Amino acid sequence: MSYKSVFAEALHQKLHEYMQLEKIESVIEIPKHEQHGDLAFPCFELAKSLRKSPVVIAQELANTIESPMLTKIEAVGPYINAFLNRQRVSNEIISLVTKEKDAYGAHAFGKGKTIIIDFSSPNIAKPFSMGHLRSTVIGNALYNISEKCGYEVVGINYVGDWGTQFGKLMSAYKRWGSEEKVKQNPIKELFTLYVKFHEDAKENPDLEEEGRAWFKKLEDGDEEATHLWKWFRTESLQEFSRIYELLGVSFDSFNGEAFYNDKMDDMVKLLEEKQLLVESDGAQVVTIEEKELPPCLIKKSDGATLYATRDLTAAIYRQNTYQFDRALYVVGGEQSLHFEQLFAVLKKMGYSWVEGMSHIPFGLILKDGKKMSTRKGKVVLLEEVIQEAIALAEKNIEEKNPSLPNKKETARQVGVGAIIFQDLKNERTNSIEFSLENMLKFEGETGPYVQYTHARAFSILRKGNFQPAERTVNLTDDLSWGVVKLLEEFPAVLERAFERYEPSQIAKYVLDLAQAFNKYYGNVRILEDNDEQQSRLQLVYAVTIVLKGALDLLGLQAPLDM
């Protein structure tokens, strides 16, 4: 139970004739200034029913409210301000955190329900660029957050492994490719060939036709085309898996676009049976005028299927396979119209489960205020950025703590963590400016700052020879109280992050907790040998548990030493 509900119940005993408990709890606020207490109830809504001014109501009510969890209740203007019993609350919260450990903050509202998350989804035979980072880390964080809320989660990497680009790539490989070079560095070599194809096609338009012809061979099951496609796909997935391993990201399914090739005809027949297909300029479309959306193109005039056909097929397959309650598509904001059309068509088909489907858009990664481009070979490779971040982290460690054991592993945790945190601390719909240097600072709003705070807290526990045990915590000072209140907020922050599909809620929280703890550490002699020492260490221990739990959700590791 939250302490907001404790205050709400105390108020409800006096106000049950005028306001429901849920309503009382929903209007309780956290005062901006500590001198106004820990919780505040505004009396404006009672003015009409009680026929008194909010100021008078606050004054009359304040003297009548009682609760063992509240030490003081006072009226300030139209507000009733409540002060929590610091010793009791600190003891309860710290005991709960240290008892539940990794389970602290978890929810059960997702129990018995399934959520599928479609994220990352790079294109085969193209480099894993910085552009793919956002979908990957946002999707991974939402996976972890959903799991902590009790859901059965299915992570799907819907790789781009089909389409005319494969015909172009085959044409380029047959003209200029070398098997040996591709085996040595698959993605780089295949991408070089792909770029060369587009450069040469400007001077020689026949190349485009040749590319289409190769893709037609692939669609028709030609042996050589199929062999090349499988080879390109296997090599690419091996390269991608190395990057996913570095990022600490995994998936439950790699069913890409090609997986649905033999399933799309059935989906088109279904649309015909439901009399939803309309001919338009020789193409087959589903109209969505009722939603004021352009028609959804299902089949081109030459009979070729499109993204929408494939995504409709995939949605139906996933519902039949997983019986999902929710389905999230972590895809850039520029695809918003596509998903509006997709969901509208599924609704027209009569599928009520579409209500659980959501597009989770996000902004761009910018370099010097401009979009990072993959066209013309201008691409910032994610793996290169990760390796650079790890090298920079190693250099920082060498300067600050050269005797640190496991320097390489810690540098990996810090370098990768810096990249992930830089992304997730921003609200996902905002575009973010890429700066490796800023990411790796050990101060300010960075991943290394939070990781370092966790390592510092652990170092205090080691120096104090702390052993976890059930103890009564006796803390009432302002600085420890600031930390305790943040620890208490963690379950609510997690729920909010899930409801809004917004990992930045966790990242911002973790920064607040790190800052509050560092303020405590800077002003309180934690290891001073007196009656409060064990209580203070118990608080430090609770902070390490929650910091690690929050970092886990974001996909960062929490080093014990830095």
Q: Phi/psi class of residue 342: alpha, beta or left (left: φ > 0; alpha: ψ in -120 to 50)?
A: alpha
What string of H, E and C letters represents the secondary structure of 63-85? CCCCCCCEEEEEEECCEEEEEEC
- Fold of domain 114-275+307-365: Rossmann fold (3.40.50)
Q: Per the structure block, which two tokens stand in for 250?
A: 């995994």
CATH architecture under which domain 406-554 falls: Orthogonal Bundle (1.10)
The DSSP element (H or E) to which 422 belongs, if any, is helix 407-424
Torsion 245-248-250-256 (CA) sign? negative
* Residue-level pLDDT, tens digit, the chain, 562 residues: 589 999 999 999 999 999 999 999 999 999 999 899 999 999 999 999 999 999 999 999 999 999 999 999 999 999 999 999 999 999 999 999 999 999 999 999 999 999 999 999 999 888 888 878 999 999 999 999 999 999 999 999 999 999 888 999 999 999 999 999 998 888 889 989 999 999 999 999 899 999 999 999 998 899 999 999 999 999 899 989 999 999 999 999 999 999 999 999 999 999 999 999 999 888 999 999 888 999 999 988 877 778 899 999 999 999 999 999 999 999 999 999 999 999 999 999 999 999 999 999 999 888 777 776 554 455 677 888 899 999 999 998 999 889 999 999 999 999 999 999 999 999 999 998 878 777 777 788 999 999 999 999 999 999 999 999 999 999 999 999 999 999 999 999 999 999 999 999 999 999 999 999 999 999 999 999 999 999 999 999 999 999 999 999 999 999 999 8
The encoded tokens of residue 316 equal: 């139906």
**Residue-level length of the chain:** 562
Alpha helices in 64-205 (DSSP H): 86-100, 133-148, 164-176, 179-184, 186-203
Question: How many H-runs (helices) and E-runs (strands) does the chain carry?
Answer: 21, 13
Rounded Cα–Cα distance for residues 2 and 7 (Å): 9
State the pLDDT at residue 36: 93
User: What is the rounded distance in angstroms from the CA atom of residue 551 to the CA atom of residue 545?
Assistant: 10
Alpha carbon distance, N-terminus to C-terminus of the chain:
36
- 8-state DSSP, 303: S
DSSP H or E segment with residue 217: helix 206-219
What does DSSP say about strands 370-371 and 432-433: parallel, antiparallel, or unpaired? unpaired
Q: Where are the domains of the chain?
A: 3-84, 114-275+307-365, 406-554
CB 330 within 8 A of CB 338: no
- Please state, in angstroms and rounded to a whole number, the distance separating the CA atoms of residues 292 and 207: 39
Report d(CA 85, CA 498) in Å as an integer: 30
pLDDT at 85: 96
**Which fold is adopted by the domain 3-84?**
Gyrase A; domain 2 (3.30.1360)
Contact 157, 119 (CB under 8 A): yes
Q: pLDDT value at position 258?
A: 95
Global pTM reads 0.93
Cα distance between residue 381 and residue 389, in whole Å: 13
How far, CA to CA in Å, does 42 sit from each of 32, 181, 202, 278, 336?
14, 71, 68, 57, 40
Phi, psi of 543 (to 5 degrees): -65, -40
Cα distances (Å, whole numbers) of residue 121 to 132, 253, 331: 8, 11, 9
